[in-house]
Amino acid sequence: MPLSRSNDRNSRIGILAVNNLGLCVVVQLGLAFGMAGLLWPDKFMPLFEILMFPWAASCRAIRTNGIAAIGLSLLLLVTRLTGYR
Residue partners of 45: CB distance under 8 A and separation at least 6: 57, 59, 62
Residue 6 above 60 pLDDT? Answer: no
Please, what sign has the CA dihedral across residues 51, 52, 56, 62?
A: negative
**pLDDT tens digits for range 66-82:** 898 888 888 888 887 88
Determine the residue type at 34.
G
- Global pTM value: 0.64
- Domain residue ranges of the chain, discontinuous segments joined by +: 3-82
Measure Cα distances from 29 to 14, 48, 59 in Å: 23, 17, 20
Residue 52 above 60 pLDDT? Answer: yes
pLDDT value of position 24: 79
